[in-house]
């Protein structure tokens, strides 16, 4: 792949705030900005011929540029240590994906790209970016396993949540507990045939170790916090994991063009605090964070900042919310969460 000059880490200020906290080791490579998803009507890539202005695909490089810059120049910058990512090797991909799938993507890249499914495009250069995203995530995990740091964050794109096969790689395993909080969206098509419903619990030995928490549209800060306290924390407490991985997508924010949820910076900050508490209790404070969605070019960066503030247990927010409070009536969300809780307790053996 083309060699890319990586951005140099910025120096950490010599006078950090007086309270003590961990550093977050951010793994990033600017080569991932080369993934070009194009323009069109939202994420379709379609030009209908009667619009003067076509918008960027929601998963565009600008959203990541702002995430990088807010971590480099925002108030959280003294707590960030920068590391250069690297591409994954094919042998590493084969530990999870099939050779046929990899061949399909290599051939698509060689032929100039293709639409993998609706809204998901592979254009020239995208394959190299995907390798960087996978390899950078592996490097972030290895940094923790090797004892070089406790908290790593893989700031990567393209997002991995449309990858097949086998995105459902842990669906038959009882060694990994997968918990997903998401809007009630249904199937996304061939690249994501699962619908995310509560009865998709895993199969075989993995039955009960895939917990979906589909939340009603409009669920906000208090609803997500209630789901964390009532469903996520108890499941993690019973599973007793050796390692926690927080896969974050800020497309659940109140102002995301793709999601239909209502989280604000306060809600994301609390989620970060909650997950950090679980990591402190079960994995000696070790936590891998991996970037996924989040498509509001500005607000996604602010929400990321808030998540990491929570993970760092910073007592007073370093950054105020530029859009401020979004009203929430959590009554319906609470009813749904309680019904999911009843279903899981009566269906999942280890709960």
Annotated catalytic residues are: 162
The bridge status of strand 80-84 relative to strand 55-56 is: unpaired
- Residues paired with 26 in a beta bridge: 82, 153
Instruction: Scan for tokens 């409009």, then name that residue.
Output: 218
Specify whether the backbone of 280 is left (phi greater than 0), alpha (psi in -120 to 50) or beta.
Answer: alpha
User: How many Cβ atoms sit within 10 Å of the Cβ of residue 179?
Assistant: 17
Query: CA–CA separation, 82 vs 149, rounded Å?
Result: 12
Give me the DSSP letters along 160-171: STT--S-TTTTT
Q: Which of 237, 183, 241, 233 is closest to 213 using CA atoms?
A: 183
Instruction: Scan for tokens 């993970």, then name that residue.
Output: 311
Q: Tell how many helices (H) and how many strands (E) occur in the chain.
A: 9, 11
Token reading at 351: 């709960």
The distance from CA 303 to its chain's CA centroid, rounded to whole angstroms, is 12
Q: Which of 315, 293, 326, 341 is closest to 222 using CA atoms?
A: 326
Segment holding 144, helix H or strand E: helix 126-145
Whether the Cβ atoms of residue 214 and residue 198 lie closer than 8 Å to each other? yes
Segment holding 213, helix H or strand E: strand 210-215
The bridge status of strand 151-154 relative to strand 287-291 is: parallel
């Amino acid at each position: 792949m083309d060699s890319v000059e990586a951005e140099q880490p910025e120096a950490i200020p010599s006078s950090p705030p007086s309270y003590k906290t961990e550093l977050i080791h951010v793994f990033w490579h600017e080569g991932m900005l080369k993934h070009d998803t194009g323009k069109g009507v939202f994420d379709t890539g379609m030009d209908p011929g009667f619009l003067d202005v076509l918008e960027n695909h929601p998963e565009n490089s600008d959203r990541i540029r702002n995430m990088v810059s807010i971590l480099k120049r925002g108030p959280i910058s003294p707590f960030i240590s920068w590391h250069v990512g690297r591409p994954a090797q094919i042998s590493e991909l084969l530990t999870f994906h099939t050779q046929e799938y990899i061949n399909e993507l290599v051939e698509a890249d060689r032929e100039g790209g293709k639409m993998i499914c609706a809204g998901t495009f592979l254009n020239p250069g995208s394959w190299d970016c995907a390798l960087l995203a996978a390899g950078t995530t592996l490097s972030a995990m290895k940094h923790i396993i090797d004892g070089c740091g406790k908290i790593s964050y893989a700031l990567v794109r393209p997002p991995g949540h449309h990858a097949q096969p086998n995105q459902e790689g842990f669906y038959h395993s009882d060694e990994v507990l997968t918990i997903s909080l998401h809007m009630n969206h249904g199937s996304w098509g061939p690249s994501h045939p699962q619908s995310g419903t509560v009865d998709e619990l895993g199969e075989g030995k993995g039955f009960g170790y895939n917990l979906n928490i589909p939340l009603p549209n409009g669920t906000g800060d208090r609803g997500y916090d209630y789901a964390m306290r009532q469903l996520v924390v108890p499941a993690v407490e019973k599973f007793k994991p050796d390692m926690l991985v927080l896969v974050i997508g800020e497309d659940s924010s109140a102002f995301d063009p793709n999601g239909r949820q209502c989280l604000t910076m306060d809600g994301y900050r609390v989620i970060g605090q909650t997950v950090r508490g679980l990591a402190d209790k079960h994995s000696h404070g070790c936590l891998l964070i991996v970037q996924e969605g989040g498509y509001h070019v500005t607000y996604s960066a602010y929400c990321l900042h808030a998540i990491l503030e929570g993970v760092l247990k910073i007592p007073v927010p370093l950054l105020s919310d530029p859009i401020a409070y979004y009203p929430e009536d959590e009554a319906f969300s609470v009813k749904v969460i309680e019904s999911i809780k009843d279903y899981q307790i009566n269906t999942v053996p280890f709960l």
